[in-house]
Amino acid sequence: MEENDGITGQFLDAVEFRGVSRRDFLKYCGATAALLGLSELYVPKIAAAIEKASKRPPVVWLNFASDSGCTEALIKATYPGPADLVLDVLSIDYNETIMAAAGKQVDEILANSRKEGGYILVVEGGIPTKKGHGMIGGKEMLDVLKENAGPAVAILAVGSCATSGGVPAASPNPSQIIGVNEALKKLGISKSVVNLDLCPVNVEYLTAVIVNYLLLGKLPELDSYGRPLMFYSQTIHDNCERRAHFDAGRFVETFGSKEESLGYCLYKMGCKGPMTYSACPKVKYNSRISWCIGAGGPCIGCAEPGWTDKFAGFYNRLPGVKIPGLGGVEATADKIGAAAAVVTAAGIAVHAIGSAASGRIGGKDGGEK
Amino acid sequence: MQNDMKYEWNLAFRIDHWVRFLSIVMLVFTGFYIHWPFMSGGPGSFLMAWMRFFHFVCAYTLILGLVVRIYLAFNSRFSSDWKDFSITKNLAGVPDILGYYIFVKGSHKDYGRYNPLQALAYLAMAFMVIFVSLTGAALYKGSLFGFINAAGSFGWVSRMLGGESYVRIWHIFSMWIFIIFIIVHAYMSVLISASNKDKTLTSIFTGYKLKKSA
Ligand code: SF4
Ligand code: SF4
């Protein structure tokens, strides 16, 4: 194995120079193989693919309306792990947030990438469609996307903002922010987009999709929302470490309680795990150290399209419902249903009194003629 | 005595009625628990797991109850009554019966087994069973009836309603419609028994209704 794992000494030197041991690197390749559903035999191939990619293709990373949390996740400050390395060797030609260049230079780099084409376009952030609400260097973000989407070989929308608007698109969405897929449709560009819904994106998902592309030359199989099935086919709830407490009916009722310290299920604290599809319980965050529910917070559903609005009230079971005709007044489904039942009961009481008063009950004749 | 009685419901109709009633009551109870667990389980308990189990069993029962009822409507040797549920015919009768119920008219026509409002309400509830089952199936993670992959076959329901949180909201609204239907249905049975004096209320237990003495 040592001899024929397909990685050149030169590449490993470079890897070790960046503080990642050969062992760590291979371990990462193994983990990626597992994520991609490939056997151990693929590990050397993955390593070789990554090495080959250290020349090409480059990645262009565009930032639109977001808080750059995904970039933050990418360069996470703990220690330079193998996942960062992959993105490192991929030569990210352009990333406004972390590149050293500025001004004219930046435009030149991007123009150059466009000329050469064949890059993987990673988009972070939603796209404002209201004029003047989101501009880079005097250009509308929508136009920037249009310009750079054309020459790309693959488009990855990373994070909830890029997939469906996310936090910046939350109601009332003053800048009319939309996701990349919708924006491309609006622009008349028909290119499939891989959506990596999550806030922020899980860097392991991102690198796995890229490695998958390098290795097999194609994008992974997607679900109906454009999310890779390998990460988005099971709910959080189905793999949650607190699931046994759920089945037993043991729930945290308030934070700071004994139940919380016992690690009970967070369902009643608004956990959206049962309606959220993502591999978070398995892949976790920050080099697999922990994740939302592991850290004691309920899942807020960030892996689902339409988050945040569709999961609003992070600590509520379900979002509120706008009552038609009452101008934005919201109530829960429970309250609306109960109110309707009470109104019905009151109506029945009135009708019963009416029936008695009119002699229908207890009178001689039935209603039928 | 038997002479003035009319056989209104045979055993099949009565059993189907009560099986569906019981399954709805169980579904509402377990559904409330699943939505907001109001009891907590101790060590070694499987409270939520049991609630969900019964919820699913009753859901299958409710669906099969509707299937049986539809079968009876077309194939019952006792009384295949599907013609009674014609939408156009019943809509035409609504002003008459509604006028009576809101005290505008003193009497209404004799409609036989179901008056127009009643027939339309029952038909609507059949569609509600279908709707509540579809939303339920969209929320189910597993294989329905043991062989239908729920996520793959009913994902369209979720997409149509705008995601799983909204599917849940529609599922809950449907439950309230069932609750309201049961309240109104029970009241109407009592009211009509009292005003027509024909033992409507007990007919769903005994099968017999009193003949009109006119
Ligand atoms: S904490 Fe959330 S995901 Fe985990 S079992 Fe409870 S409800 Fe499910
Ligand atoms: S556990 Fe839920 S809230 Fe946390 S990252 Fe995953 S989908 Fe988002």
Suggest the residue from A250, A258, A262, A330 to mutate for an interface test with chain B (most B CBs closer than 10 A). A250
**What is the model's pLDDT at position A248?**
95
Q: How many CB pairs (< 8 A) connect A and B?
A: 128
CB atoms near residue A104 (< 10 Å): 9
3-state secondary structure B128-156: HHHHHHHHHHHHCCCEECCCEEHHHHHHH
> Residue A333: which of B141, B173, B192 has the nearest Cβ?
B173
Q: What CATH number belongs to A236-361?
A: 4.10.480.10
Instruction: Choose among A43, A87, A338: nearest CA to A203.
Output: A87
pLDDT confidence of residue A83: 65
Q: What is the number of the ligand 2 atom nearest to the C-alpha of A302?
A: 8
Does the beta-carbon distance from A337 to B175 stay under 8 Å?
yes
Answer whether residue B134 shows pLDDT above 60: yes
Give dist(CA B33, CA B42) in Å, integer: 16
State how beta strands A127-128 and A135-136 pair: unpaired
Ligand 1 within 6 A of A292 CB? no
Instruction: Mutate one of B140, B195, B200 to test the A interface: name it (highest A CB count within 10 A).
Output: B195
Contacts of B116 (CB under 8 A, 6+ apart): B89, B90, B91, B92, B93, B94, B96, B97
Q: Which of A249, A275, A301 sits opposite B41 (nearest CB)?
A: A249
Among B18, B67, B48, B36, smallest CA distance to B172 is for B36
pLDDT computed for residue A301 by the predictor: 96
Q: How far is A223 from chain B (nearest CA, A)?
A: 10
Q: Is the CB of A211 under 6 A from ligand 1?
A: no
Which of A247, A321, A343 best tests the B interface by mutation, with the highest count of B CBs <10 A?
Answer: A247
Query: What is the whole-number distance in angstroms between the Cα of residue A240 and the centre of ligand 1?
Result: 6
Domains of chain B are: 2-213 (1.20.950.20)
Q: Which residue of B has its CA nearest to A312?
A: B165
Question: pLDDT tens digits, residue range B83-120?
Answer: 899 999 999 999 999 999 988 888 888 888 899 999 99
Chain B (103-162) residues lying within 8 Å, Cβ to Cβ, of chain A: 103, 107-110, 139, 141, 155, 159, 162
pLDDT band at B52 (very low <50, low <70, confident <90, very high): very high
> What letter represents residue A142's amino acid?
L
A224 and B187 within 8 Å at the Cβ level: the answer is no
Confidence band of B68 (pLDDT split at 50, 70, 90): very high
DSSP code of residue B106: S
Contact criterion met (CB < 8 Å) for B162 and A275:
no
Quote the CA–CA distance of A151 and A189 in Å, as a whole number.
12
Q: What is the mean pLDDT of each run of 10 residues along chain A (369 residues)?
A: 56 72 80 81 82 72 90 67 65 72 82 87 94 91 94 94 95 94 94 94 87 84 93 94 96 95 96 96 87 96 93 90 79 91 94 88 62
Residue from the list A306, A333, A355 with its beta carbon closest to the beta carbon of B163 = A306
Q: Which residue shows structure tokens 């003035």?
A: B4
Note the ligand closest to the C-alpha atom of A237.
1
Q: Is B2 exposed, middle or buried (0-12, 13-18, 19+ CB in 10 A)?
A: exposed
Give me the pLDDT at residue A80, please.
Answer: 54
What ligand has the least distance to the C-alpha of A244? 1
Rounded Cα gap, residues A7 and A306, in angstroms: 42
ipTM for the whole complex: 0.89
Q: Which two tokens stand for residue A249?
A: 């009916």
Nearest atom (ligand 2) to Cα of A276: 7
Which residues in chain B have their CB less than 8 angstroms from residue A227's CB? none
Residue A2 has a pLDDT of 45
CA of A201 to the centre of ligand 2 (A): 10
pLDDT of residue A1: 41
Chain B, 40-99: which have a CB under 8 Å from a chain A CB? 40-49, 51
**Which atom of ligand 2 is least distant from the CA of A272?**
2
CB A278 near ligand 2, within 6 Å: yes
Q: What is the CATH number of domain A56-230?
A: 3.40.50.700
In the predicted structure, residue B2 carries a pLDDT above the cut 70: no
Mean pLDDT of the residues in chain B:
91
Ranges of each domain in chain A: 56-230, 236-361
Task: State whether A247 and B48 contact (CB < 8 Å).
Answer: yes
